[in-house]
Structure formats: C-alpha cells, structure tokens
A and B are shown apart, each in its own frame.
Chain A
C-alpha cells in the first residue's frame, strides 16, 4: 500500500511540476548512462536549468533543488525507436489518418514525410508516458525499392521535428523485387545502376550549376526523376544513412558489397538472417535495426529467423538497435530488449539497443545520460527491461512530461463503473 501511495504522490508531484524546467536531484538511484562510463551504484543525478550537471556517488546538492529519493529505482536515457510511423499513422485501417505511403507518382526517394507529421497524434503521448522519448519516423515500405526520406522526432515539446531528411529508406526483399521484374537480382542491379547514375548526375549538375534543369533520365530505362536524384544526392552531400530492409543472408551480402563499391553509409533493417553474416556486418561496420522478438519464418526471405539473432549479432561486434514494427506500441521496446537478454544478449548491450545505438545510427545527440547535455531520462520503478516494472516519470530536455494520455483518461473514466453510471457513459 505504501508503495502505491508513494507512486501516487510522485505522480501528483509530477503533474504539478509538468512543463517547468526542473532543478532536481535523484538520489540513491541506479543510473545506466548507455555510455562507456559505468557509475557506481547507487548514485545521484543532478539536473539544473534543464541540463545534467553532475552524476556520481558524491554529488553535492545545492539548495533550492528538489530531491527525489530513487532507492530501488533506475534511471536510463529516454528510449529511442529507430523505425516507426509515429506522427504519420494514426489508425492503420483509416486511410485519411495515414500519411506514410507515397502515391503512385510521389513514391520514390524524394517522398518526404516531414510535411505530414501530426503534432496532435495520440501516439506521441501514449508512447512517451512509457519512456519512449524519441523516434525516427520513416515512410512505410511499400512495393518500391526506395520508400523515401524520414525524420527524427522528439515526442514532447513545441518542436516535434528534430531533424528532417534524416535518412533514406528502402528495401531489398522479394516484395521490392516484384516491382522491378521479380528477381532479387534485379533489385541489386537497380541499386547499383542508381548509384552509378547518381555519380553522373551530380557531375552534370555541377557542370551546369544550380540552375541545372535538364530533364534527367533519358538514357536509362529505370532512372529516377530530377527531384528523386536530388534526394538521392543527399546521401553523398550530407552522408545520409541508407536504411535498407533486407532479411535474407544472400541479399545482405550483396548490399554490403554494393556499399563498399559506392562507399554508402548503409544500415540493414530487418536482418532476420543477419546472424549468418554477422562477421561480415561487423567487419563492414554496418549497423542493424531488428525486432528481436520476430523469430517467425513468415516468408522465404526469412526462413533463418531465430530468437537469439540479437545475441549472435552483438557477440560478433555488430551495432544492434531494436525496433517495434507497430508504431502504436513503440512502448514495447523494453520488452524486446528483455527478450533479447533472455535469449543470450548482454543486458547493457540490450539497453543500448533501445537508447544510444539507434541515436548513433541517425546521428541524433540523444540516447545517453551525459554531463552537460539536456536532461532526457526515465525514472523506472525497477529493471527497465522487465515486464513488471514501469516508467514512474519521464523528463525531456529538462522538463517532466505530463503522465496522462488518452488511454489513462479512458481508464479513469471506466475504472469505477458505479461512478461512471451516474455520469451516464457506461452500459445502462
């Protein structure tokens, strides 16, 4: 009972201080920074004016700083979902709420989801209250080789979009092969030709200057339009990661070869058979974004799927990040990590797979707890990877977020049906 009470008190306190930059110290707490530095346990984290000011066992707490007792609790960085449709998909089966798919004419490398990100999406708060503070929102991968450009989001605050045109997304799968003739070989050839063409395109554009407007693509059967080539050119000009959905070992190897030929900053998403080529991935320093709970041989691209894929990849030295395939449930990230641990992955690596690694893949300066950085953290009432613990409080850029969401409000509305009846919104 006292536990419940203290949680309630905390929630109330949290609600009252929501939206104000907090000067706060959490004492006697287990802090997992997701960086190389291991802190002695328990430690203290001091936050002032929105930034982490001090970390460690001997932090001196200045006056006028609110003190929270973190005994038995855990602090981590906010969780980062590296591949979602948060903000561009509300209700999957309602087309008018779906902005993740480009049309027949808009699809391709230049399809840019940044213009449709919905600040009022209920998915933001529902995932945020459970500790997911950042997400990479990407176009849905349809039948095309390239799906388009994604954005980096912070799920709280006034400016949702941290960075537009964050990465280019695509696929080398049986499905994307269908779109270029049917064979997986065609997708590889298509990619190779595209990046070779890109070289020519950029040379021509450089010669002609910024006013280069000549219609492009007459000499290649499957070339892209000028705006698509400009989008592809970002890979060269800004080092944009090229995130390709690839599951089968053979195509992963083909993509690695292609990446080496063209010096492409490739990231493999899916990687169901990644474990088979783990040493090649590690040698090429190519990170992977995987769902460690998807061990199903649901298609011929992924007959080699297995539950310990994450552990095997990590063991081989591959940078591993986790993704939940359903944007409504990015909050399952920590369950994914917990299962990866149950299947042999190192606990710290599993935590990094939902914090620092996804942030690093996209060059977002989040996912770690670091002195001098804006304070974005989650206070958990136990092991954050455990299904019996939960986020007691979430701070983004130094501000406690409101702990309520549309779903907690629905709960309150119906938790006591007797009271509800009086207000007339339950079954009569």
Chain B
C-alpha cells in the first residue's frame, strides 16, 4: 500500500462518476442499457438457459439410446433434437457464454469504462436473444431443424426436406451471424483502442488475447457460414441451383463453405476457454504464467492455421489424396500451438504451488479432458484413421472432449472464479467441489465409452440401434454418465442462484488476483473504476501496490475523467493516451432494431414479402434513430 491517506477526493470522484454513469432502475433503463456488465450478465444468463435446453435435449437422446431399440422418441423427434442440440450448444450456449465473460471482463481487465461500441453491444445481445427465440419457435410448430447443425445438402434442399425446418435453420443462423459479427468488431476495437495507459501489447492479459483471437476468427470465418446459408435460402426459396448437381451446382460447395466456418468455429469456442484457463491458473498457483509470449503466439497461430484445415471434415467425400495429404499436414501442425499452451499451463502448475479450489479444479479437469480430445483430434488428422472412424461415435466422443473440455469446464471454472466479482458474493465452495467431481466423473463416464462404440462400428446421428452388436453396455454407461454430468451442472446452477442472494460477501479482491478486474469493486460500479489506472506491469494487481485501494491516485497516474460520459482512447501498440471519447448514452434503438430484424426474418420464413419490405424500412428507421447525431458523442 502506498501511503496515500483515504481522502475526500475518492468519495467525491465516485459521486460525480455515479451521477454521470449511473442508471435508474426501471423498464426503460432495462431495455436501453448499454452497460457492458449488465449486457455481459444477460449474455451469460441467456447462454445458461440455452445450455439447460440443450442439456435436456441431450438427456432425452441419451435416454432413447440407453438400450437397443427403445421407443421413447420417434425418429423425427430424435433428429430434430440432435440437430437443435448441436445448434444450441455451439451458437446459443458456448459463443454467447464466452462473449458474456468477454463483455463483462474485457473492459475491466484492460481498464476501460465500457466497450468501444456500447450500443452495438446492446444490439448484439438483443439480436442473439431474438435469433435464439426465432430458432426455438420452430419447436412450437413442430418443425425444428432436422438435418443436423452441419445441415448437408442435398438432404437440406427443398426436395428432400420440404418443411419449414431448414428455413428456420438458414435464417436463424444468418440472424445470429449479425449478432456475432457486431460483437466481434466490438471486441477487436475495444482491445485495440481502449486499453488503460501503459498497457502495451505484452501486458494484455491472456484472456483478452483469447477473446481477440476469437473475434478475429469470427470476422474471417463467419462470412462463410452466412454465405452458405444465403445460397441455401436462395436455392430453397427461389429455385437457385448452387447446390443442385443436376443444374451444374455442387453439394460439396456447402461442405466447403460450412467447414471453412465450422472448423474455425471450434477454435472460436476453444480460444476464450484457453484464455479463461490462463486467467485462473496464475491466481490459484500464486505465480505468473510461464511462457506468456508463447501462449499468445500459440493462440494467434491456432487462429490462423485453423483456417487451413477445413477439408479434414471431408476426408470421406472422395477428393484427391494429394489434397488430403496437404490438409492432413496442416491438421497435424495445428496441434503444435495447442501443445505449446498445454505445456505452458503444466509448467506454471508445476512451478507454482496450486491451491486446489473449485476454479482451479475445473481448469485441471479442462486440461485433462482437452488433452484427450486433442490426441483423438490428432488421430483424425491421420487420413486413413479418419476415413475409418469419421461419422462414427468415435467422433462424438472426440468432439465432446474438445468442446466440453475447452468451453464448458473453463466456463464453469470462471463462474466460481469471477462469480464473486459479478455478484459480490462467494459461491459455496463445498457445492463447487461436489459439482466439479460429478461433472468430471459424469463427463468421462458419458463420453469415454463412445470412443469404443465408434471402434465397434456404431455410426453417429442414429436414433436407435440394433441389439446384439455389443453396443448396449457402452450406451448404457454413456447414458448414466450423462445424467451424472447433468446433475453436476445442476449443482452449480443451484449454487449460483443461492449464493448470489445469500453467499458470503466477497470483497473486492477475494482471491488476490493479478489482473485489473480485481481493481474494481464487487460488483463493479457503473463506471467500473474510480480512476482509470496507469499500468506498469503485466500483473498490475501484484506489482502495483497503489492499485489495491481501488483508486490509483492521480499522482500515480490514475485518471478520474469526470468531465462527462468519457473513456480514454489509447494508441494501439503501446497504450499511450490519445484522446478522451464521449461514450454514447443508453438507447432503446438497438432493442427496437433487433425487433424489426426479427420481424424481417419471420417475414422471410413465411415468405410474406410485403411484411419483409416494411420490416426493412422499419429497420432503416431504427438505424436512423440510433445514429441521430447528438453533439460530440459517438453513436455506436
């Protein structure tokens, strides 16, 4: 602690900032808010709600498969469930949850008062919610997407899936893409331009690097999915021929476009998860990460090489072996930056002295699960083995090890690590450990036997299977494991709900963490920080003792910025202050725009073109309202 006496200036600054940044309670502010913390929480809660739905779908499917020839679900229902399970977990759970933590913690960790584009942030959330509702409304009419999250043509063409199911899919994903793209741009600009003074590139927390790598991947990968979906919409609705082999199109074009997006999508979900691991480990082993530079380069390298491996999802479609050899090489190579990160975590764990609290337990579980998924991933880089096991249950096992490993376990670790910052109260530690062990054991019991099922020849995406093939016992184990996993998840959700109201007050920095989110109060004030800190170290909370008081004094470089609704703009590489920026006020227009867009997508779905035109005009009006100039303030 520096010897600055607790003076009046802090209270005075806080009061002025609260007057500027505070939001009145009520419906108006609830709809209009552009506060990244409220929006981040919404992302998280919405993601968890969809996680619960996706999980229930999984349990229904596992129950159906507990034994051969069960008749709990009819095939159509099963096919809708496995399709929506994939869509939900990727687009409505993992991405929003990781964006949620990003929204909440990126500005806090880089010492900013908000995201670069707070209204765009609000719009991203409302659009996610609207698109989620859009996709799930398909269940109300009994026509949920039923051709898998991968939605291969020609099965998904109008000819073979004439129902409205696939229209929900293509339009829903285009709609969601708007949300993700806006969010990605916001993350990138925030991380490039809003870092606290002194936060040079090599002082950016690894979690923030992870969100940046994710956002860059979204920018360059998502257009492939949006394009694939638009072309399919045109094929289905107006008889275009992109995917129709008989008219010169090619169904493999869908697979190329889908996987140009789809493989990076795995990293979109994994990289922030890696970032969470790198945020949790130093705090709980009480030493800085070893190999910071290598980890950052590793994350960026994964993001880059991840664009060169999409064809390994197409090893059985009959492309030339020379193509396959190149893609195999890239697929083996993409394992190297991940291996570097794993060994950096291991080195840090071994060099430090781990405190085995719940957040770290989840990270350790993540490492083990992810490594198992990683080595089976390397197996799939080996073309002959891939050709033997692709589309079998071996893949189901692998992808769950990778995705549950790198997304779910870090997210749950983050709930325990950062939850106290968000709610101001500690989660129950004992319930946390119970939850972890149930999840870890349940997960492995559920998914490990699926490797064996794949080797035993069981294809994936089957609603039932024949008796007498030796598949029953593994399937039963898998089902039991799934229920254990579900129970473990439930324990944490209950723990969160209970602790948020009744938990022990956390204090501002319960774990004595190393990064700037612990510089704010718990939960953070509307303005995040009393003073925007000047950063002089990679672990500022460990190395800059003057930050411990929650308000770096001006003598040490803390900027109060009380002259308005302001944040700092700093230089891209070395974080020199360049300007103060008037941040936009809360606004209902992002919410209204997402509603008009929702009307637009429903109109396309039902092919009511007049309504679609009206909705476009209404959207243009909403954009006009949003961007109506108001003095110096930027409008996004």
Q: Do A and B come from one complex?
A: no
